[in-house]
Amino acid sequence: MLFCPRCDLETYKIYGVMSIDGAAIALTAYLERSQYMATKLDGKRVAILVEDGFEQVELTGPRQALDEAGAQTQIVSPVKGSKVKGFQHDKWGDEFEVDVPLDQARADEFDALLLPGGVMNPDKLRMNPKAVQFVRSFFDSGKPVAAICHGPWTLIDAGVARGRHLTSWPSLQADLRNAGAEWSDEEVVSDHGLVTSRKPADIPAFNRKMLEEFAEGRHDTQRQAEAEPALSR
């Protein structure tokens, strides 16, 4: 049986394998992909933009995949203080170190952006003009963006949802469609460098497509996609 010494049972669960027994095929495919992607993502800097109340597994799962693929991930947050607090479904979770305060963050110093979900997190971000502009800057420069669950909510305020095909937590579909997006109920949707998924159960598919799009780098069609002025607050 093939075994990954760096992976515990929780890691197997994140990638869609519910027990170590019988995991050889799935794990082999993952390890082969990780080895390939490590070269492709080596040195790429990925910003993870969050506020208090982000869904914890939607940060830790994708971040682990990015780190193992060779990327340099940094948590960017507007919170006052050095730590930002996650949420685990219906209760508060762990605290995470903020690597770069939002006031000091520059989108041009990163190669890609990850937007975890959670209800409170994007609702706070979309009310923050600096956070909205930070998100918008990645689209303006054609850089890939991955957003999961409630994460795509901020795209509306950034003025980048119109004309895009995406998915999200189902309760956002009316808002996204009203903003001009094409919404579909799929585990992962990729559109010109924008990767979206619906919920934590979609993380394995989300991670695979995120790694692929982040490895490709800038997408001219991301920059050229129909956009509107960011909403002012």
Q: Compute the half-sphere exposure of residue 207: CA atoms within 13 Å on the CB side of its CA.
A: 26
Q: Is 47 helix (H, G, I), strand (E, B) or coil?
A: strand
The answer to whether residue 7 is catalytic is no
Query: Which residue of the set 4, 89, 149, 219 is catalytic?
Result: 149
Beginning with the edge strand found earlier in the chain, give each strand of the sheet holding 112-115 in spatial order.
100-101, 72-77, 45-49, 112-115, 145-148, 194-197, 189-191
Contact indicator for 135, 167 with CB cutoff of 8 Å? no
The answer to whether residue 150 is catalytic is yes
Query: Which residue of the set 4, 7, 89, 150 is catalytic?
Result: 150
Cα separation values, 220 from 64, 107, 159, Å: 28, 17, 17
Q: Which residues are catalytic?
A: 149-150
